Amino acid sequence: MNAIIKWALQNRLIIVAIAALLLVWGAYVALNLPVDVFPDLNKPAITILTEAERTQRQILQQSSQK
């Protein structure tokens, strides 16, 4: 770890150049990100059709919500 710190202190110009390149690259990527004006907010839905003779509707609703 000390060797990395010593090298960075001796090569300050390279470190500043790398930081500047990362800053420019980050700004470029951020500006070119695709942005949706209206994002898709629809929740997925499932419709279940059941057939049950002589069964009350409340019992079917209770059993399907479990």
pLDDT tens string 21-55: 999 999 999 999 988 777 777 878 887 777 767 66
**Residue at 7: amino acid letter:** W
Task: Return the domain boundaries, the chain.
Answer: 1-34
The contacts of residue 36 (CB under 8 Å, 6+ apart) are none
Q: Quick check: 18 pLDDT over 90?
A: yes
pTM greater than 0.75: no
What is d(CA 22, CA 25) in angstroms, rounded to the nearest whole number?
5
The contacts of residue 5 (CB under 8 Å, 6+ apart) are none
